[in-house]
Amino acid sequence: MGSLAHLPLEQGYILERLIEIEKEISIIIAVDRNASHTFFPVAKNAHVDGVLSESVVPAGISTDLQKQAQEIAYAIATSLEMVGILAVEFFISKSGKLLVNEIAPRPHNSGHWSQDACNVSQFEQLIRIACGFPCVLYTY
Protein backbone atom coordinates (compact mmCIF):
# COMPACT_ATOMS: atom_id res chain seq x y z
CA MET A 1 0.00 0.00 0.00
CA GLY A 2 1.27 3.46 -0.87
CA SER A 3 1.56 6.45 1.39
CA LEU A 4 -1.60 7.67 3.07
CA ALA A 5 -0.15 11.12 3.81
CA HIS A 6 -2.23 12.74 1.06
CA LEU A 7 -5.56 11.76 2.65
CA PRO A 8 -7.44 14.55 4.47
CA LEU A 9 -7.41 13.96 8.22
CA GLU A 10 -10.84 15.49 8.90
CA GLN A 11 -12.53 12.55 7.17
CA GLY A 12 -12.95 9.06 8.69
CA TYR A 13 -11.58 5.94 7.00
CA ILE A 14 -11.95 2.21 7.26
CA LEU A 15 -8.86 0.34 6.12
CA GLU A 16 -8.76 -3.38 5.47
CA ARG A 17 -5.77 -5.63 5.23
CA LEU A 18 -5.52 -7.87 2.17
CA ILE A 19 -5.96 -11.52 3.14
CA GLU A 20 -5.41 -14.69 1.19
CA ILE A 21 -8.65 -16.65 1.00
CA GLU A 22 -8.89 -20.43 0.83
CA LYS A 23 -12.63 -20.43 0.08
CA GLU A 24 -15.91 -18.64 0.78
CA ILE A 25 -18.78 -20.29 2.62
CA SER A 26 -22.19 -19.28 3.91
CA ILE A 27 -24.68 -20.53 6.44
CA ILE A 28 -28.35 -19.70 6.87
CA ILE A 29 -30.00 -19.67 10.29
CA ALA A 30 -33.76 -19.55 10.80
CA VAL A 31 -35.08 -18.21 14.12
CA ASP A 32 -38.76 -18.34 15.06
CA ARG A 33 -40.76 -16.18 17.47
CA ASN A 34 -40.03 -18.55 20.36
CA ALA A 35 -36.27 -18.16 19.73
CA SER A 36 -36.02 -21.74 18.46
CA HIS A 37 -33.55 -21.97 15.63
CA THR A 38 -32.25 -24.27 12.95
CA PHE A 39 -29.50 -24.09 10.34
CA PHE A 40 -29.33 -25.03 6.71
CA PRO A 41 -26.06 -26.82 5.87
CA VAL A 42 -22.96 -24.76 5.14
CA ALA A 43 -22.52 -24.03 1.43
CA LYS A 44 -19.22 -23.46 -0.38
CA ASN A 45 -19.63 -20.55 -2.79
CA ALA A 46 -17.86 -19.58 -5.99
CA HIS A 47 -18.14 -16.14 -7.58
CA VAL A 48 -17.48 -14.88 -11.10
CA ASP A 49 -16.97 -11.13 -11.50
CA GLY A 50 -18.35 -10.56 -8.00
CA VAL A 51 -21.58 -12.50 -8.63
CA LEU A 52 -22.41 -15.86 -7.05
CA SER A 53 -22.17 -18.54 -9.73
CA GLU A 54 -22.23 -21.76 -7.70
CA SER A 55 -23.06 -23.03 -4.22
CA VAL A 56 -22.05 -26.56 -3.25
CA VAL A 57 -23.55 -28.43 -0.30
CA PRO A 58 -21.97 -29.99 1.66
CA ALA A 59 -19.20 -27.42 1.70
CA GLY A 60 -16.36 -29.89 2.25
CA ILE A 61 -15.08 -28.23 5.42
CA SER A 62 -14.22 -29.70 8.80
CA THR A 63 -16.83 -30.34 11.44
CA ASP A 64 -14.99 -27.81 13.62
CA LEU A 65 -15.36 -25.04 11.00
CA GLN A 66 -19.03 -25.94 10.50
CA LYS A 67 -19.60 -25.66 14.24
CA GLN A 68 -17.75 -22.32 14.37
CA ALA A 69 -19.90 -20.98 11.51
CA GLN A 70 -23.05 -22.04 13.37
CA GLU A 71 -21.88 -20.48 16.62
CA ILE A 72 -21.01 -17.17 14.94
CA ALA A 73 -24.28 -17.06 12.98
CA TYR A 74 -26.23 -17.82 16.16
CA ALA A 75 -24.35 -15.09 18.08
CA ILE A 76 -25.10 -12.55 15.34
CA ALA A 77 -28.78 -13.54 15.16
CA THR A 78 -29.09 -13.39 18.95
CA SER A 79 -27.40 -10.00 19.23
CA LEU A 80 -29.77 -8.63 16.56
CA GLU A 81 -32.77 -10.21 18.32
CA MET A 82 -33.43 -11.76 14.93
CA VAL A 83 -36.73 -13.37 14.02
CA GLY A 84 -36.65 -14.74 10.48
CA ILE A 85 -33.84 -15.82 8.17
CA LEU A 86 -30.23 -14.66 8.40
CA ALA A 87 -27.46 -15.61 5.99
CA VAL A 88 -23.87 -15.15 7.08
CA GLU A 89 -21.05 -15.29 4.53
CA PHE A 90 -17.53 -16.12 5.64
CA PHE A 91 -14.09 -16.18 4.13
CA ILE A 92 -11.85 -19.03 5.23
CA SER A 93 -8.32 -17.67 5.31
CA LYS A 94 -5.31 -19.71 4.20
CA SER A 95 -4.57 -20.18 7.92
CA GLY A 96 -8.03 -21.73 8.45
CA LYS A 97 -9.61 -18.78 10.27
CA LEU A 98 -13.27 -17.84 9.68
CA LEU A 99 -13.84 -14.18 8.83
CA VAL A 100 -17.36 -12.75 8.53
CA ASN A 101 -17.74 -11.14 5.12
CA GLU A 102 -21.44 -10.27 4.95
CA ILE A 103 -24.68 -10.70 6.85
CA ALA A 104 -28.02 -10.68 5.05
CA PRO A 105 -31.27 -10.68 7.08
CA ARG A 106 -33.29 -12.32 4.30
CA PRO A 107 -33.36 -15.36 2.04
CA HIS A 108 -30.00 -15.48 0.32
CA ASN A 109 -28.87 -16.55 -3.13
CA SER A 110 -26.48 -19.09 -1.59
CA GLY A 111 -29.54 -20.87 -0.16
CA HIS A 112 -31.59 -21.14 -3.35
CA TRP A 113 -30.53 -24.80 -3.59
CA SER A 114 -32.86 -25.50 -0.64
CA GLN A 115 -35.87 -25.13 -2.96
CA ASP A 116 -35.01 -28.36 -4.78
CA ALA A 117 -32.95 -30.27 -2.25
CA CYS A 118 -34.77 -29.98 1.10
CA ASN A 119 -38.15 -30.72 2.62
CA VAL A 120 -38.39 -27.02 3.54
CA SER A 121 -36.72 -24.21 1.61
CA GLN A 122 -35.36 -20.99 3.07
CA PHE A 123 -38.41 -19.24 1.58
CA GLU A 124 -40.94 -21.60 3.18
CA GLN A 125 -39.06 -21.37 6.47
CA LEU A 126 -39.37 -17.56 6.39
CA ILE A 127 -43.10 -17.73 5.58
CA ARG A 128 -43.65 -20.20 8.43
CA ILE A 129 -41.84 -17.88 10.85
CA ALA A 130 -43.77 -14.81 9.64
CA CYS A 131 -47.05 -16.71 10.20
CA GLY A 132 -46.04 -17.66 13.75
CA PHE A 133 -45.25 -21.32 13.06
CA PRO A 134 -42.11 -22.95 14.45
CA CYS A 135 -38.97 -23.60 12.43
CA VAL A 136 -38.84 -26.96 10.68
CA LEU A 137 -35.68 -29.04 10.71
CA TYR A 138 -34.53 -29.54 7.13
CA THR A 139 -33.90 -32.92 5.54
CA TYR A 140 -32.37 -33.64 2.14
pLDDT tens digits along 38-93: 999 999 999 999 899 999 999 999 999 999 999 999 999 999 999 999 999 999 99
Q: Average pLDDT, stretch 1-25?
A: 82
Mean pLDDT of the chain: 94
Whether the pLDDT of residue 114 is over 90: the answer is yes
Work out the burial of residue 34: count CB atoms within 10 Å of its CB; fewer than 13 is exposed, 13-18 middle, 19 or more buried.
exposed
Nearest to 110 by CA among 81, 86, 92, 129: 86
Superfamily of domain 23-130: ATP-grasp fold, B domain (3.30.470.20)
Nearest to 25 by CA among 50, 7, 52: 52
Check: pTM over 0.85? Answer yes or no.
yes
Whether the pLDDT of residue 1 is over 70: the answer is no
* Residue 74: CA count within 13 A, CB half-sphere: 12
- For the chain, what are the domain ranges? 23-130
